[in-house]
Structure 1
Amino acid sequence: MGNNFVFSWAEDAQGKMVHVDDVPRGLACGCVCPCCHEKLLARHGDVKEHGFAHHSDNRGANLNICYMVILYKLAEQIIQTRKKIHAPSYYGIFKEKDIEFVDVKIDGRYEREDKQPDVIATTKDNQQYIIELTFDYKVQHKQAPDYKNLNCLEINLSNQTLESVEKFLLEENTDRIWFNNQEYFDSIEPRYEMANKRIEVKNEDECKMCELYYSCVGVRAKENGSILVIENSGKRYRICKPEQYDVAVEERRNRLKEAEERRNAFNQDSSYSMYKRRYREFSDATEESTRLREKQKQTGDLQAQLDASRIPPSERTCFMCKRNLTWWKSNDGMAHCGAYYSMGVHQKTPPDSAQTCNGFEPK
């Protein structure tokens, strides 16, 4: 007789996913497993055995894989019948929302054989969305799909069950990302313009040539404060703020000029002046440390104030960091990061690198 591993959904003779409560008992249900195509029994028993079970004892199919395929097929059908999906936010620029469709195709192909989307859905304004349903260990296509210049939403079903998947698809925003969204991407600059904010979407390859790449003043992600990087059509982009960029470039060049002047003056100093200068720098650092401790006592939160994330990035310099080798070649105006190799920065580290450095630790 059948196995005790039961499912609440199965595939009927017409290829439609049906619930066990909606079909006759036993083999009369006419249902099969969409994975191994084994006949299923519909059990209308107690809670433990209420559901579909594989009929034979020697089928040899992996029941976990069978469950995933049933879940996958059910998710496709839910999107097709309900003609709706809840889409996540697009990098915090566009809010999460329900997207309603007028036409939904499943098990289709998209123009070329290497494009095999799970769901192709079209809205009333003729916007087309490719929806990929995945698991943590999804079987890949023979050739990687190419969804460049399309609207593609990827949804991970790994944390769902047959009972939870409908609410998950139609109401929640977790376990899903915009693999690509050309409509939103093309609307980024107009979106900011409507808010009277001047921005420019820049290819990150171009950004790497910028003198402010490691101290970028572009738009930052709301969740963690890091530079916002948008992925679209296989490329990465940043959102530049031209006005702030011009100011930051001027300030940086002024700092470099001042550093050069200090270095020249230092090279002309006598030994006494050199020690006097170092003593003054040490005194200034001690005074700053004392001021920070007093500030921490006033707030009553010493540990939080010591946390590097509480020091505004714009105020950080490498000279505040534990990794700074101030004793080594300190006459060249550079910070000389002690962990430059692992941090991926130049050995002669510009002091303002601390403003974007993930390894910044205050002294």
Structure 2
Amino acid sequence: MKNSAKIPYGIRNNRLVHISQLTRAERGGRCGCVCPECRTPLEARMGDIVRHYFAHARGTRPCAGGTETGIHLAAKQLIADRKEIPIPLLQAVLEAKDSLGYKHTESKVIFPGHDRQPVDDTKLEFSLGDIRPDLIVSLGQIEILVEVAVTHFIDAEKQQRLESRGQRCIEIDLGDIPRNLTPVELEEHVFNYQRAYWIVNPKIEAEQEKLRPRLQQQIEKANKRIAQANIAREQEEQRQREQHARMEAYFKAQEQKHAELKRQREEEQRRAREKATEQAEIRRREAEVARQLEAKAERHRQQKTWEQERQQLDLHEMRHLAMELFASCQRIHARSGKVATSTRFCLPMARHNLERDIHKMDLEAIPTAVETRTEYDWMFGVPSREWKLVALLGVVYTRESIQSRYWISIQAIERYLGEFGYQPIVALQRAEQLLNTARYYHILAEDPALMALELLPRPLDAIAEFVGELDNFNMIHLLAAKLDELAFIPKPANSWR
């Protein structure tokens, strides 16, 4: 079985031997050493490359603790051979907490520590009842138990037994040292008082008792300072509370004062508004009375003026004018039926726009409904063909009206013709003015001459006749209604007759 455990120490003739203490002639199995842990034969591996070490002989079962056991035994053997021990720092430390939980400490160094303290005698593995220390050393009349810790340290149970006996005991901590140290290097670690510490020493407890009054005094002083600080803090908090209460009372009084001032200002403003409202209402009433008086005076003045104007009217002349206007319209009507329709356009705008609009709407010929004569063709004093074409191409048959499919009223045609420049003949206009005068002055209401003027046509009558012809030739869809409410929707040209 191959074994790779590197052991620095072996036992020969019941004494520990380091690998560096062998000669070349003793390498291999000739070293005569056994394992410190399992006591099986070792071989000295002393090559030229790797650092020398012991290993379990071939054919033996290796153990895991040979290295640590060797170091442990070597340290004990060094102490026994040198008759010296490291004395660790001996210090009494006492701790306590004040009322706030802060830690206070009193300490005293009894012995500062020493690396090599000569001893009178050493005993290895000497049993003391239920305790078997690594060494017992004698220093005068004092015995000190020494424990060398490499892997196994003193546990709580063993420490309790030591404390119950009051036996001085130190422990040397070699747990973290390298495992391949030479005896000289190991000696430096063993005799280093910083690696040793006291497990039990009766002097510590005695010194702690001496330190206890001082620590108690320190705690009392700290608690006194804490109590004084608490009192001062409480007093300061009370002062701040009182100051806060005073400030709160002050601000509350100021707030009430400001609230009262605000209420007074608002009351004054309310009264001022009420007074202003009352004054405004008085002025409004006075203005209303003045307006009514003025309106009454104006009505009286207008009534007086109306009466004066009415008295100045010549009723005979008005009857005569009414008969002349009616006769004039009759003559124009009669003459219009005998005169052939002219193909010329009277208004310059008509001459300029109609040919363009006919071409724009792709009309190959003038629609028959336009050429057809109606009773009131003479209304506008121009050839009926002209104003009918203007109405057709400006309102009835346009790209917008065909696409929108909205209802069109005859008032729209009347407005368009008026904007275009077509007005009723002068006789009709004067007849309308005469009728309006008679109605305004409440005269000649039943006079035959004035009643005859009522029979004369209006522009809407002529437009209604034209719209009727458009419906007859299937150019529009007419909505049957009163004259003033007539409306229609244009139809496409391919449906015309």
TM-score by length of 2: 0.39
Partner residue, 1:108: 126
Count of equivalent residues: 222
**Partner SS state of residue 194, structure 2:** coil
- Spell out the pairing of 1:1-363 with structure 2 (5 A cutoff): 3-14=3-14, 16-20=15-19, 21-22=21-22, 24-46=26-48, 48=50, 50-62=52-64, 65-91=65-91, 93=109, 94-97=111-114, 98-110=116-128, 112-113=129-130, 115-123=131-139, 125-135=140-150, 137-138=151-152, 144-145=158-159, 146-148=161-163, 149-160=166-177, 161=179, 162-163=181-182, 164-170=185-191, 172-187=192-207, 200-201=211-212, 240=215, 242=217, 244=218, 247-271=221-245, 273=247
Post-superposition offset of 1:265: 3.7
RMSD: 3.4
Counterparts of 1:95 and 1:119, CA distance in 2: 23
Counterparts of 1:32 and 1:141, CA distance in 2: 30
* Native 8 Å contact 2:168 2:202 kept in 1: yes
* Native 8 Å contact 1:151 1:183 kept in 2: no
Residues 251 and 50 of structure 1: CA distance in aligned 2, closer, same or farther (over 3 Å): closer
Counterparts of 2:118 and 2:34, CA distance in 1: 31
Partner residue, 2:303: none
**Partner SS state of residue 174, structure 1:** helix
As a proportion of its length, which structure holds more helix? 2
Counterparts of 1:2 and 1:30, CA distance in 2: 20
**Partner SS state of residue 138, structure 1:** coil
Post-superposition offset of 1:67: 0.5
Larger radius of gyration: 2
Post-superposition offset of 1:270: 4.1
Post-superposition offset of 1:151: 1.9
Partner residue, 2:373: none
**Partner SS state of residue 104, structure 1:** strand
Counterparts of 2:173 and 2:145, CA distance in 1: 14
Counterparts of 1:80 and 1:56, CA distance in 2: 33
Counterparts of 1:252 and 1:140, CA distance in 2: 41
Q: Which structure 2 residue ranges, 5 or more long, are not aligned?
A: 92-107, 251-497
Counterparts of 1:258 and 1:82, CA distance in 2: 64
Residues 49 and 268 of structure 1: CA distance in aligned 2, closer, same or farther (over 3 Å): closer
In structure 1, what residue type is equivalent to 2:152? Answer: K
Cα displacement string for residues 197-236 of structure 1 (whole angstroms, at most 9, x for unaligned residues): xx6237xxxxxxxxxxxxxxxxxxxxxxxxxxxxxxxxxx
Counterparts of 1:258 and 1:177, CA distance in 2: 46
Partner residue, 2:298: none
Partner residue, 1:226: none
* Native 8 Å contact 1:6 1:49 kept in 2: no
TM-score by length of 1: 0.52
Residues 100 and 241 of structure 1: CA distance in aligned 2, closer, same or farther (over 3 Å): farther
Post-superposition offset of 1:55: 0.6
**Partner SS state of residue 43, structure 2:** strand
Counterparts of 1:260 and 1:40, CA distance in 2: 79
Post-superposition offset of 1:245: 5.0
Residues 49 and 55 of structure 1: CA distance in aligned 2, closer, same or farther (over 3 Å): farther
* Native 8 Å contact 1:83 1:104 kept in 2: yes
Cα displacement string for residues 137-160 of structure 1 (whole angstroms, at most 9, x for unaligned residues): 527779635211222212221222
In structure 1, what residue type is equivalent to 2:145? Answer: I
**Partner SS state of residue 147, structure 1:** helix
Q: Which moved more, 1:139-148 or 1:90-99?
A: 139-148
In structure 2, what residue type is equivalent to 1:17? Answer: L
Post-superposition offset of 1:79: 1.0
Post-superposition offset of 1:71: 0.6
**Partner SS state of residue 212, structure 2:** strand
Give percent identity, aligned residues only.
22
In structure 1, what residue type is equivalent to 2:118? Answer: E
**Partner SS state of residue 240, structure 1:** helix
In structure 1, what residue type is equivalent to 2:199? Answer: F
**Partner SS state of residue 144, structure 1:** helix
**Partner SS state of residue 7, structure 1:** coil
In structure 1, what residue type is equivalent to 2:211? Answer: E
Q: Which structure 1 residue ranges, 5 or more long, are not aligned?
A: 190-198, 203-238, 277-363
In structure 1, what residue type is equivalent to 2:88? Answer: P
* Native 8 Å contact 1:83 1:100 kept in 2: yes
Counterparts of 1:89 and 1:73, CA distance in 2: 24
In structure 2, what residue type is equivalent to 1:151? Answer: R
Post-superposition offset of 1:102: 1.3
Residues 272 and 57 of structure 1: CA distance in aligned 2, closer, same or farther (over 3 Å): farther
Residues 2 and 106 of structure 1: CA distance in aligned 2, closer, same or farther (over 3 Å): farther
* Native 8 Å contact 1:89 1:96 kept in 2: yes
Post-superposition offset of 1:29: 3.1
* Native 8 Å contact 2:135 2:146 kept in 1: yes
* Native 8 Å contact 1:76 1:118 kept in 2: yes
Counterparts of 2:222 and 2:228, CA distance in 1: 10
Cα displacement string for residues 279-312 of structure 1 (whole angstroms, at most 9, x for unaligned residues): xxxxxxxxxxxxxxxxxxxxxxxxxxxxxxxxxx
Counterparts of 2:53 and 2:196, CA distance in 1: 29
Counterparts of 1:12 and 1:106, CA distance in 2: 18
**Partner SS state of residue 121, structure 1:** strand
Residues 19 and 173 of structure 1: CA distance in aligned 2, closer, same or farther (over 3 Å): same
Post-superposition offset of 1:56: 2.4
Counterparts of 2:68 and 2:144, CA distance in 1: 23
